[in-house]
Structure 1
Amino acid sequence: MKKILIVEDDPALLETLKTFLETENFEVITADDGEKGLQLALKEKIDLIILDVNLPFLGGFEVCRKVRAKGITTPVIMLSGEKKEELDKASGLDIGADDYLVKPFGTKELLARMKAVLRRSSPKVEETGEYFSRTETLEIPLRALPRGSTFAGRYEIIEELGRGGMGKVYRATDKKIGEDVAIKLLSPAIAGDKQTLERFRNELKFARKIAQRNVCRMFDLNEEEGMPFITMEYVPGDDLKSLLKKTGQLTIKKAISIASQVCEGLAEAHRLGVVHRDLKPQNIMIDKEGNARIMDFGIARSMKMKGITEAGTVFGTPEYMSPEQVEGKEVDQRSDIYSLGVILFAMLTGRVPFKGDTPLTVAIKHKAEKPPEPRKFNPQIPEDLSRVILKCMEKDRETRYQDVGELLIDLGKLEKGMPVSIDLKKEKKPEEGVKKGIEWKNSIAVLPFVDMSMEKNQEYFCDGMTEDIITRLSKFEGLKVISRTSAMRYKKTDKDIREIGQELNVASILEGSIRREKDDIRVNAELINAEDGFHLWADIYHQTLESVFEVQDEVSQAIAEALKVKLTPKTIESLKQGRPENIEAYEYALKGMHLINSKYIVFHREDDFKAAIKMLKKAVECDPNYISAYTGLAWAYQHHYQITGNRRDFAVVIKNCEKAYELDPSLADTNGAIGWVHYLKGEFDKAYQSYQKALEINPNSFGINHLIGQFYRNFGLLHHAIDYVSKNIELDPFYLSSHSLLARCLIYSGKFREAEIKIKEALEIEPGNLWSFQDYSLLYMMLKKTDDAEDYLKRAVKINPGSPGNQFYQALLSGLKGEKKKSSLPQEERDYLFSSRNEGGSD
C-alpha cells in the first residue's frame, strides 16, 4: 500500500482528501502546517507528498526545497491558488516538484496526477504478449502451363495472357477445331469450393446463350487432374484497363463508341436475364479493329459477389461497384448501368470518381458520397455527356436509366451532336460544420428513479429500472430518448424540471421512485411536460419482483400513448427481447453494472471492478443464456482496459461479445457488440456490416451512432462521421468521447472555429480532461501555433504520461517543428497506436 503525506492548512480540504485517498487504498498521514509536514517528510518512509504552497510557519516551497536538499527524491505534487497559477507552477517545478494542481480541482484529476507521478517514479514493468494470434495462410501455387505444352489433351499453350484473383489466363490452340481459345485456370481457393464450382456450371448455362458481337463467348467448365478451368472465346487485343493506362484518357468520340458497344452487349444479356455484376475496364476487351467485347459473364454471380459480405470481404472491384452491391442487396440490370457510368467517367477523365486507401473506403464512398462532376477533371467533356454519366451513377437506382436501351438512345444522340434532355435528381449539399439537430416527433429524458426503500439499499435496482425503461423507449420510432450516461448526471439533483429539459433539449421528462421490501416493489412514475411542468401522466404500480418486466413494459407503453407515439406490433414484441429466464440473474447483473457504472468508472478502484465481475459471473451461472450478463462483462473489461491499459482484457471483451451475438444475432446491441469485436481485430469490412445492421434494427441505439461515426472518421469520410457523432451527442449530450471525436472531425475538415467551440463544451462537461487537451494541441498544430500546441500537450501528458495518444501527438509536434529524430515512434508503439484497438490512435 502506497503511503501519502498531505500537508494542507485548510481542515475541510485536508479531511476530504484524506477520506478520498483512503477509499482508494492509500495509507494517508497529514500535517496542517509546513514545519510538521517537513518533520514527517524527513522521518517517515513516504511514497508521495501532496503539498500546499501557502502554509503557516513554513511555506510549501521552502518545505520542498529542504526535502530536496536532504537528497530525498520522494515525488511532490504542489497545490496552488488559481490567481498565482503560472507563478506557483514555475516556482514549484524549479525547486524540484514533480507536478502541480490548481485549486479547486476534482478528485478524479488528483488521482490521475498521483498515478502518473507514482508511475514515473516506480520501476517500469515491461508488457509482453500478443493478444491476437497471427496465422499464416498457406497458399497453394497455381500450376504453370509452359508454352508449347498440351493441356487437357487438346489445348496447345501459346502464351500467358494475364493473372488475377481468380487464377491465370492462357491463350491456347484448340487442336480439335484448329482455333485459338482463352483458358482460365481457376485458383486453388476456388477449385476447392464445390459450391462455387457448381454455381459456375449453372451460370455458364445462361452465359453461353448470349450470342452477340460485343460479348465474348463462354464455352465450358472442365477439369484436368483435379484442376478446374473455363474455356472461352479468344479476343486478340488489349483490355480497356491497359488501353487507359497507355493513353490516360480517350477522346470523346472513342469513349462514346466503346460505351455504346458495351450497351449493345449488355442489352442482349439483360434480355436473357443475365446481369454481369462485375463490369470494369479489365473485363472489356478492345480488339484489333477497335471493337469492344465484354468478358466474364456469369462469373460474378457464381462468386456470390455481394459487396461487403457476411464473411467480411469486399467482393468485386470496389472502384466500379454500385451502391446496392456495397450494401449486399439483390442487383438487377441497373447495377451494370451504374458500373458503365463509372467506366465512362474513367475513359473521359483518366481516373475513377472515388479513391481511397482501402477497398472498403472506396466501396463506402459509392454508397455515401455524391460523385464529382466529370468536367472538373476534363473541361472538354460536353455538359450533356457529363449529365449522362451522372444519371448512370445516381445512388437511387429508380432515378438511373432503367435499361441500357434508354442509355443507348442518349449516347446515339450525343454521337450525332444532338442535345439530350436529362432531369438529374437534385441532391442536398452536405451541411457545412456540425449538424444542428435531428428531426424528432417527440423527446424524453428518464431521470434516475429515487430509492424510497426503508434501508436505502436499492440504488442498484433503481438505476437498473431507469436504464431498462430508457432501453425500451429508445426502440420507439421517432422518439428522441436521452441515454443513461447523460440521464444519470441528474441523480439527486435539485435542478428544476424546466432547467433539465433545456439542458437536455427534451420536451418531456419521466421521474419516479421505487420502494422495495424483499420481493415486493412499488413503482411511482410521473411524466412531466418540461416546458411548463404540467403532469402529462402518472401511475403507481404495486407488484412482486417477478413482475418487474411487465411493469417496465406498461410504463413504456403508457408513455408512448401519452406522447402520441404509434407502436407497431413488431415494436411491442421487441420489448420482450433479452429478458432473463431467472430473476436472480437479473438482480446479479444489475448489481454488477451498478458497481461498474457508478463506482469503478468514477473512482477506478480495482476492488469495485472485481466485485462487479463477481456479480456478472453469478448472473451467467444463474442463466447461461442471459445476453445482458455477457454484454455487461464485455463493457466492464473494456473500461478496465481503458483505465489500466491491460491489453489482456481484449480477449475477454471479444469472448463475451461473441457469446452475446451467438445467443441472439437479431438485437441492435449484439450486432453493435460483434461490430466492436471486428473493429478490435482490424476486420473493418465485417465491422461496417455489423454496425449497419445494428442501426437498421434500432437507429437510436446509444453508442452505435458514435461507433459508426468513428468508423467513418477512420476512413476519411468526415461529413458522414460528423452526422453520426452529432446524432449520438443529441442522444447522449454528456458523452465526452463523442464531443472529442466531433472536435477532431471538425479539425480535419478545416472548421477550426467550430472545433474550438466543441472542445470548450467538452471542458465544461469535465474540466481538465485528457482528450480536450489533446484536441486543443491538435487544433493548434493545424493552425501552426506550435507553442500553444506544446503547452496543451504538456497538460495532457501530466494527466496521463502513458497515453498512446500523447506519444502520437508528441511525434506529430516534433515533426512539425522539424525535429526529425523525435518525430518517429518505436515500431511496437506504432503498431499499437495505429491499430483498431486504440480508439484515439487512428488520427
Structure 2
Amino acid sequence: MPSSYLHYDIIEKLGEGGMGLVYLAKDTKLNRYVALKFLPRHISNDEIERKRFRQEAQSAAFLNHPNIAQVYAIEEVDDQLFIVLEYIEGKELKELVEEETLTVDEKWELALEIAQGINAAHKKGIVHRDIKSRNIMINESGTAKIMDFGLARMEGADRITKTGTTIGTTAYMAPEQLTGEEIDMRSDIWSYGVVLYELFTKSLPFDGAYEPAIMYAITENDPVPISDHQKEVPERIVHVIERCLEKNRTYRYQTFEEVLNDLISEKTTPVKRPHQTTSKKNAASKDYTGYLVAAVAAAVLLLAFIYISRDTNLNLTGNSIPDKKYLAVLPIENIGEDPDLQVLSVGLAETFSYRLSELEKYEESYWVTPAGEIRKENVRSATQAHKIFGVNLAISSTIQAFGDSTRLILELVDADNIRRLETVQIVVASENLASLEKDGIKAMLAMLDIQINPEINQTINQGDTSDPEAYEYYLRGRAALQMYNSPDSLKQAVELFKKSIALDPEFTLGYSGLGESYWRLYQDTGEVPYVSQAEDALNEALELNENLAQVQMLLGLLKSGTGNYREAEKIFEKALEMDPKHTPALRGLAGVYAEMGDPKKAVETYRKAIDLKPEYWEGHKGLAIHYLSTGDFENAIKEFTMVTRLTPDNSSAYSNLGAAYLYNGENDRAREMFVKSMSLEKNSAAANNLAYLYFTGGKYQQAAEMYEVVLQDYPNRYQYWGNLAVAYEYSGEEKKSEEAYLTAIDRAKDQLEVNPRNAEVLADLGAYYSDVKDTTQSLEFMRRALNVDSENIMVRERAVSTYESLGMREEALKWINASIITTIETQPELQDLIKDPRFRELAEKFKE
C-alpha cells in the first residue's frame, strides 16, 4: 500500500469487508482526518464490482444528514477507485450494547436518531440493505452515525447483485432477503427492528449455534419475547420492535415515518396481525436450501485449525463389584465374521448401552459411556475404555450364529485391574433377536448386582416391540446410524426405521430412531424439510410414550438446533423432571442458556451436571468447551486441567488442554501438553498440533516426526504425505522427501479414481511431479487441472509455482491474476519470479 494517494496521507488500516478496504488518512488540503474506502484487490478488476462500488458512492453522495456518515469525494488513481468518507471517532453500537452503560432514555434517543437517518436515506430512494449494530457508530458526543452504504442501491437502479448471492449479515436479514425475494425499504425496517431488540435486551430475536439455525429461526419461528430478556422495556418500544419484525411485509411498518410516529407518540398505531406469519414455501425454497448448504460448508472450513478431541477419560479403582460402577459396553465381536450378523451386532451393542444408561437415575455413582463414543474412539478392549473414558467396568461380548440359533457370550471385566469377574452365555432362536436383547440386559444387570424391581423392569422394556421382524429392522437402523459415513447411510437408516414401524405402528423407539435419522440428515445436508419430518416422528414417539427422557432430549436438541430456544428449554426441563440425573439433557439445557445470552445460567447448569456425576469425564470437558467457545480461555484451561487431574493417564485430556493453551496464545505451554499427550500414547490429534507448532517455529525435523505419527492413523490422506515431504525437504532430507512425494502421488491417484475431474487433486499431482523432477507428468496433470477449472485459486497458485519450478517463467506469468498476487509474494520459493520486471508490472496492475 502506498503511503499516500493524491493529497491523502495513509495513516493506518481501519478494517475490511466483502465490499471494501478502509484506511484512516489525513486530507492535507483541508487538514482533516478522513476514511478512505477502496475496492479489495481480489475484485478490483471485476467490472461488476467496480460498478457496485461507484453506485455506492453515488447513492451515498446524495445523503447529507447528521445521523449518516458523510461522503466527501469519489477519487480514482491508476484505475484504483476509492471513496473519501467522514472519519468518526467513537464506538460501534454493538460495543456500547455489550458494555451495558446506556440508560433506557439514552437507548430511546439513539433509536430515534437511527430511524431519522434511515428515513432520510429512504426519502432519497436509497435502501441500505445491511443495517446492523456494527454499522452504526456512536461518536464522542453520543450521536448515532449510520455507516457503510456499501450494500445500498438506489430504487430503480440496475440490479447488479450476482445471481444466487445474499448480501448482509444473517442475524439481521429480513425473511424475504434470505429467500431471494425483492428487497425494499421494509427490509431495512426489519433490520432496524433487530437492532432495536438488541439495543434494549442485549440479545438477538433470532439466534442459533450456526448459520442454518439462524436462517431457519428467522423464516420459521416467532422472535423470543422481549420480556424473556428484559422486563423494563417501555411498552411503546416493544410495540415498535414487534411490528418491525412482522414476517409478512404487509403487516410490517411501511415507512420510517410510521416508525418515528410510534417512537415519539404516547399512543401507538394498532395493527391487525396475520394468523400465520411464516411461509413454509419460502422456508423450503431452492434458494434457501442453497444458502443452508453453503453455510454448513463455511462452518466446516472454520473448524479446520485446531483439533480438539471430544473424548476424555477417568481413572478409578474398584474391587469385585465396586460400589461405583462406571461402565463401557464394548463392541460385540462377531465370531465367524458373518456379514449379516455384523450389522446386527453393531445395533445390539448400541441398544445395550442405551438400555443400561436409562438406569442411571436409579443408581448412585453409576454411569454408562455412550456407544457412539466407544465407536468413535475405536475402543475394543477394557484397557482402552479405562484409559480413554475412565470406566472401571466393561462388558465384553461375542456373538456367533450356528444352525438356527445365535449365541451371545457376555463377560463383565474389571477394567481397572484387568480381570474377568463373571461370564454368561445366552442362546436364542436366530429369528427372535429381540429376546437376545431382553435376556442380555437381564444378565448384565445380574452381573452388575443391580436388582430388577418393577420400576426398572418397566424402564428397560418401555418403547419396545413384540414383533421380532420389526425389532430386527430397528437394530439395522441403529447400526446404520452408528456406522454413518455419508448421507446415504442416514437415508438407509430412515428406510429401515420406516420398515420397523410399518410392521409395528406402536413401536415407540422405531419412531425415535426415525426422528433422529431425519434430524441428522438435516444437520448433514441442510435440507429444511428434514426438520419437520424429524419433529413429526419424535412427536409420534412421545404420543405413544411421553415418559422417554431420551426422546424428549432429542426433541430438545432439534428445537435448540433450529433456534427455538424457549421451547427447547421447556423440553429439556421436562426430560429432567422424568430423570433428574439425565446429564445429556442438562448439557443440552446449558447449551440453550448459552445461546440465549445467559452464560451465567449456562455455567450453573454445566456445574449441576458435574455435581451429579463429579467423576464423569464428560462433565468438566463439556464446561471447558463452553468456555472455549465463548473465548474464556483461562477458565477453559482450568476445566481441562481438572480433566487431566481426574484422568492422569489419558492422552486426549492433555491434547485438549494443549489446544486451549494454543488458543490462549501460550504456545510453550501448549507444546508441553502435546508432548505429555504423546508420551502417554502416540495420537494423531496431539501430533498434528505439534507438527504445526514445530513447522511454524522452524523445527522441520520434529515437524516431520509428528507428521509420521499422523500418517499412522491416516495413511491414505495424500495431503499429509505432501506435508511430510515438505517437512523433509526443509530439513534437508532429500531422499525421504522424494519418497514421501511419490507416496503422496500414489494416494492422490487413488483419489482420482473416485473423481477423475477433481481439479485440486490434479493440480496437487502436477506440483508433486515437479517436486520429483518428472516434467512430462507434471505438465500433463497441470494441463488437466487447468482444463477442468482454471478459475480455481488453488489450481492457479499450484500452476504458477509448478511452472516456475520447471523453468517455464512465461507460462507461470500467464496464470497470475489479482486474486493470487498476495499469496505469491509470500512464497520464498518464488522470490526469483517476484524480482522479474514482468511480475512487478503485473503486480502494479493489480495493486491497490
TM-score range, shorter chain: 0.3 to 0.5
RCO greater where, 1 or 2, for CA within 8 Å and sep 6 or more? 2
What is the TM-score when the length of structure 1 is the normalising length? 0.37
More helix by share: 2
What is the TM-score when the length of structure 2 is the normalising length? 0.37
